[in-house]
Structure 1
Amino acid sequence: MAPKLFWIGLGNMGRGMCKNVINKADVQHPVLVYNRTKQKAVEYSTQFEEGRVEVVDSVAAGVAKADVIFTILAKDDVVEAIVDDLLGSTDVKGKLFVECSTIHPDTTARVSKKLVDAGAEFVAAPVFGAPAMGELGQLVGVLAGPEASVQKARPFFQGVMAKAEINMSGLPYEKALQLKVIGNTFILNMVEQISEGLVLSEKAGLGTQYVRDFIHLIFQGPFAAYADRILSGKYHTMDYPLFPVDLAIKDARHALSLAEAAGVHMGNLDVGLAHLEEVKQHQGEKGDIASIYGAVRAKAGLKYENEPTPGLE
């Protein structure tokens, strides 16, 4: 019989991921969902046929009913608080926890030990990809932990939430988060390079259109998507960021912590983090990772907010 599933966290990434589990996985029971703001979970549930989703009032209530629990939360302290709370009120023996949050490897090591010591199974399963890819089930999952536990988690990834997976079966949980944290530095450095290139082309009198053409023809994929997001002006007009500045700063600091412990200097990351902190100062929590462009513009003597490129607004 298919396991009963519980999903914790319906943020930018969690909404699409959970939707694909509900619609594509072998689900024979209502999928339990929990969000800190209950009304958001209730509104989310209305997009599905009756009986497909059940909103629960607490994490403990959901865990008590479920066999497999997915978590994707914004910050390390939130993940740890939820684990501590449920361990103090719920029996987790025999349950599988699939932790998809982007957190520090040390945090993963701590929460996994607490859950495993209490008799649960654990899989570290962060994902690569933007929210739009999460909606389409086109993420890349990174799965680490005991082979038997990873095998239980895999049916919910490739072909459901993900287009592919990086299988770290048999490796310590924290290895998946090391890869995730390092991988996110590529995203930050990509946005930094696009921003610097576009600002230079504007200041040098070349304009941005030719650089955009170059990016689309040579790099494509996420490079092209971020170039368009930047030039559209969405980085300063969105009601809610796609990759919030607070999370980008958290990820950058995690990577720098990892680098310091390994004796590695990441100069590009230092520059990117400094620009993210300027974004935070200028836009507050509405800032997006793409807002690095605004910080680079301001440093070059241009207005932080660009004029949107026609056709990309």
Structure 2
Amino acid sequence: MVQPPVGWIGLGSMGIGMSNNLQKYLTASSSPPSTYTNRTLSRGKSLKKLGAVPIETVKELASKCEINFSCVGNDAVLQETTNEIIASGSIEGKIYMDCSTMHPDTSTKIAEQIQKAGGQFAASISYF
């Protein structure tokens, strides 16, 4: 089975560790490298050393990846990220998995927005 392109958005305290583990898995399974973006791309030094590819914007990442993960700082940034993914015009038929700590209402709202745009949404259980 060929692994579809995977992207990671958000390299904060939780996101950097999670994305590093994802890239290690992809490398070990001979899958294509992940891509990543962050407000400060230099946070991805460890990912780049593992073979991941930096991408400048959320829109570009979402257009290139079939599975998009995010782990961002708060509900407002998560909504902004979701808006950018939807604006990419390429979420249809793709998966958006959020690992951020967010309010359940935000998760419900974002799920509705992604599904309306033709994508699939999943969230980890990290509510405050």
Q: Which amino acid aligns with 1:31?
A: S
Q: Structure 1 residue aligned with 2:34, among 28, 31, 36?
A: 31
TM-score by length of 1: 0.38
1:116-167 deviations in Å (ceiling 9; x for gaps): 1110011112xxxxxxxxxxxxxxxxxxxxxxxxxxxxxxxxxxxxxxxxxx
Counterpart residue identity of residue 75, structure 1: N
After superposition, the CA RMSD in angstroms is 1.5
Aligned-pair CA distance for 1:66 = 0.4
> Within 5 A, what are the aligned runs for 1:81-120?
81-120=80-119
* Cα contact 1:2–1:27 (8 A) shared by 2: no
Alignment gaps of 5+ in structure 1: 126-175, 182-250, 252-313
Matches within 5 A, 1:264-275: none
Question: Which one has a bigger Cα radius of gyration?
Answer: 1
Number of residues paired by the alignment?
Answer: 125
Q: Supply the distance in 2 between the matched residues of 1:58 and 1:27 (Cα, whole angstroms).
A: 26
Which amino acid in 1 is paired with 2:113? K
For residues 92-115 of structure 1, what are the alpha-carbon distances to aligned partners after superposition, in whole Å with 9 as ceiling and x for unaligned? 101101111010000000111000
Give the structure 1 partner of residue 14 of structure 2: 13
The answer for the alignment partner of 1:47 in structure 2 is 49
Residue 49 of structure 2: SS of its match in structure 1?
coil
Q: Match for residue 22 of structure 1?
A: 23
Letter in 1 for 2:6: L
Q: Distance in 2 between matches of 1:56 and 1:64?
A: 11
Residue 85 and residue 24 in structure 1: after superposition, are their counterparts in 2 closer, same or farther (change >3 A)? closer
Q: What is the distance in 2 between the residues matched to 1:89 and 1:6? A: 14
- The answer for unaligned runs of 5 or more in structure 2 is none
Pairwise CA distance, 1:16: 1.0
Share of identical aligned residues, percent? 27
**Larger RCO (alpha carbons 8 Å, 6+ apart):** 2
CA–CA separation in structure 2 for the residues paired with 1:92 and 1:27: 25
1:70 aligns with 2:69: yes
1:2, distance to aligned residue in structure 2 (A): 0.9
CA distance in 1, matches of 2:57, 2:90: 14
Q: CA deviation at 1:27?
A: 5.5
Note the 1:214-229 alignment, pairs <5 A. none
